[in-house]
Amino acid sequence: MKSGPSPAADQGENPERIPRRQAGRLHWLLEWAENPDANAIRTLEERGARVLQVLPEGGMIVSAPDGMDWRGLEFTWRGLLTRWHKLSPLLKEGMSEFLVELHPDVDPGEGMALVLQMGFHLLWHPDLPGDQIWIRGAAELLGDLADWDEVSFVYPAPDAFGQGEPVHVCSRSYASGTTIPQLIARVGEGWDGPGLGAAALSYTFGPLTEKLSADTIRLEIERALAEWSRHVRTIFTKGTNPAAARNLHFLFGSRSHGDDFPFDGPSRVLAHAFYPSPPNPEPIAGDLHFDGDEAWRNGVDVDLFSVALHELGHALGLAHSDAPGDVMYPFYRRASQLSPGDIAAIRTLYASGATPLALLLGATPDKTTDSVLVLTGSAEGGAGPYSIRWSSDRGGGGTLRTTGAFQFDVPLLAGRNIVTIEAEDSAGARASRSVAVSRESVSETAPALRITAPAAGGTFVSTSRTVVVRGTASHASGISRVTWANSRGGSGVAMGTGNWETQPIALAEGVNNISIAALSVSGAAAAAGLTVQYRSETRDTTAPSLRITSPSSSTFLTSAAAVAVSGSAADSSGVAAVTWTTNLGLTGDAAGTTSWTASVPLSYGNNAITIRARDAAGNTSWRTLLVTRR
């Protein structure tokens, strides 16, 4: 488990210490010395227990009635899941949005009622499965939430949810129709057995989809295989027998396609993979299935390479990561390579391979309204330490020395910005990567709207900075309260219960997903979602004013090695930064904004110096100097 080995003590005698919304049953963690046989499972079921999920190496999550007779069941450990098991190690102070995974047999309405009862706000996304609840609240309250029996795991939510984009969740398939819980990091010891070794595997192809050419499908899947082999000692060789041991079989299928996990048609489950043997049996161990009804694409959603890269992690033995930037996070994202977190995870199963110098970049958005791109990544392979430099086609750059990981705050100007990262190791080897990010003022798209006011359906587009949401709520026991939360920030309690309305909700530019939640007097809960797309009527297009006060002339001679330049800048929305560049490729930031100074180094000969001022909306203005050093 992600929290470490299970506590040694048997916790079976203290069921009363676990709070729960429904009496009569509790969720237990059972561990055997090896995977239990059919007789043990049958005995559990005959005594009223239900096997919900399996864990590697003889573990399982079961729902059992109070007072169940555990005698004669030869497990090595039995315990009630506690907050120690259920809280992701990646949770930390300052986080405010989280995903709560419920046990598979918990009614989603009970889960929603629980998080409201514990003081959290519900957030809404149309693509979330029923066992996942998106919440906002204080991180210090998560322990009390995780104590409840209905909660299986709590982990960080991705920023992408708040941007209103469609998401796809991985199905977490296991053998015999069961699934893997989020609370474990890996399944089994990998194809190489215990310890860190190497694995030699074959791969074959079954039926393909006509939505991509056969050559493209094979190329993208082989590219995903190569990405994993780039970081650990796994060797993949094209095979001929799909039923062979230690073979990964790739196929496309629709609906029922020969395993215990039928696909569901377009737009929901995209693919699934089966973990290595053991624990999954041959010949299905390691196989990867893709839903043939999806609109498979190359380089855009639904991107075959990105999905294959994620599912191969499962086929090699990894469960899901808790880090939203990892390929192995349970919600697919478009990716071109593994993240540092993915690489660290796979190296707990297999030996690291000697690799050439490579640059790994964290996830970056295609579009954003932010003025600064936080660019993270790491250099791997080669001979460290490394020199890392970034540059933008819109101006600016920076360099640092690192043993691996790096982070740059890259200013973005309005429009398309191409940012290039270059790495050089101590032996002189070089690698580079580029990303393109468009800084825009309005986000596209809006999901469906299901609130009675301000609109009865469809998409509601607002040019007002606030919106008031109205509606009704009823329950046999009465309504305790109605709450609201905006995915872009802000939450509160609505006025009224049977007939209610929110206070004016502040809107952010672009998509705002607004969640309405009603809690009854008896503790039942209901939730509804509304999408509001806010478009401001005006946009700041005025560049800041910029003056160079010293030197007083724009052209002059000097024998000094540097020139001191100073001046002023002003803008109605505020001056974000003042920078300087030279025709010889030197760059830097001036000290100050409205009143600024800069010391610019000079080379012999002509030096063309450009001073730029940028406002908060991305508008820029510039002034130039021509300085000749003798």
SS3 192: coil
Report strand pairing: 121-123 vs 397-402: unpaired
Whose CA is closest to 608, among 591, 627, 630, 587? 627
> Which whole-number Å values give the CA distances from 226 to 205, 216, 223, in the listed order?
16, 15, 5
Q: How far apart are CA 194 and CA 344, in angstroms?
A: 17
Check if the beta carbon of residue 179 is closer than 8 Å to that of residue 186.
no
DSSP 498: S
Active site residue 311: yes
Catalytic residue among 294, 311, 380, 424: 311
Q: Which residue has the tokens 């009865």?
A: 456
The residue count for the chain: 630
3-state secondary structure of 589: strand
Sequence letter at residue 409: D
- Euclidean distance between CA atoms 170 and 320, whole angstroms: 9
Largest CA distance in the chain: 95
What pairs with residue 318 in β-bridges? 186
**For the packed helices 214-229 and 304-316, what is the interaxial angle rounded to 10 degrees?**
50
Token pair belonging to 150: 């209905």
- Tokens representing 295? 């609109």
Give CA–CA dist 228/337, Å, rounded. 9
The catalytic residue positions are: 311
